[in-house]
Every structure is written in C-alpha cells, then in structure tokens.
C-alpha cells in the first residue's frame, strides 16, 4: 500500500468522495443537506489517498480548525477494502502530516449512524468531546479529538 499526499484537486480523491457522499446521503437521509454544506472539498490543501497496485482504496483530509488543531475530513474506504486496517493507516498518515505542520491535535465530527467510523476513531485513540461549532446541539453528531505526539 502506498500513500499520496495531495490536495482536493486529485481526481482519485474526488472520485472517492463521490462514493462517500452517496453513502452518506443514504445514512443521513433528510439531514444530508445540513452536513454536506460543511463538507465541500474545494481548496483542501492536505489530502491523503491510499493506493494498492495503482488502485485508489481510501482517502482522508485535514484542514486547519484553529491555530493548534487540524480537523479530519472526508475519511472514506471503498467497500471492498474495509476491515483491513486501511482507514487506520490513512488516519495515521493524516495525523503524521498534521504533526509535521506543528499542530498539537486533530478534531473531527462523525455521525451516530456511522458506527464503523466511531469504532475507527476510538480504536485510534480519539476521545469523545462536546460537539463543537456547527455541530453543537446536533443529536446525530459525535465529535472527537486526539492530541498528537
């Protein structure tokens, strides 16, 4: 498996995000429009795409949240590659990149209808925090943070 550090103009990232959005539209139902407004991918400077034999398997991105934090965005693994540790490796690459850029922690939001994502973040050392920003008071959202070493 190889990892490409790129930006949101990468066509493989764009394609994987289309798959992600189609999945989320089903999971989120009527709430999808609320979430999608916060998940635009234009101008994301820090994207990781995972490949195996030149096939894009998974992706994730980080963007500045505040002076000390990066927000993890657009995490997705194609269905045929799930439960193989791919998402954890992408997340690890994103955390490594954030640390290289001198950020102290990563934060993120995911939906309660995404139990696989919640399990992924807990397995990788993320702690549940109070819902932040636009997610405050949103019952379908769960927010996490992880301090970087």
Is pTM beyond 0.85 here?
Answer: yes
CATH superfamily of 2-147: Gcn5-related N-acetyltransferase (GNAT) (3.40.630.30)
Name, in order, each residue with C-beta under 8 angstroms of 67's C-beta and a sequence gap of 6 or more: none
- Residue pLDDT, tens place only, 15-50: 999 999 888 877 666 665 666 556 666 779 999 999
Q: Scan for tokens 């997610």, then name that residue.
A: 135
**Domain range summary for the chain, segments of one domain joined by +:** 2-147
Provide the 10 A C-beta neighbour count for residue 53.
7
With contact defined as beta carbons under 8 Å apart, do 108 and 125 qualify? no
- The rounded distance, in Å, linking the Cα atoms of 72 and 59 is 11
């Amino acid at each position: 498996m190889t990892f490409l550090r790129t930006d949101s103009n990468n066509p493989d990232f764009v394609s994987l995000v289309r798959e992600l959005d189609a999945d989320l539209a089903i999971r989120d139902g009527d709430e999808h429009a609320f979430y999608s407004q916060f998940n635009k991918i234009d101008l994301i400077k820090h994207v990781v795409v995972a490949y195996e034999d030149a096939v894009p398997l998974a992706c994730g991105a980080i963007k500045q949240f505040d002076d000390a934090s990066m927000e993890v965005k657009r995490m997705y693994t194609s269905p045929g590659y799930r439960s193989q540790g791919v998402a954890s490796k992408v997340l690890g690459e994103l955390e490594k990149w954030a640390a290289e850029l001198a950020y102290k922690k990563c934060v993120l939001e995911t939906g309660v209808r995404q139990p696989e994502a919640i399990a992924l973040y807990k397995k990788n050392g993320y702690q549940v925090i109070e819902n932040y920003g636009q997610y405050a008071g949103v019952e379908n959202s769960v927010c996490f943070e992880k301090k970087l070493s």
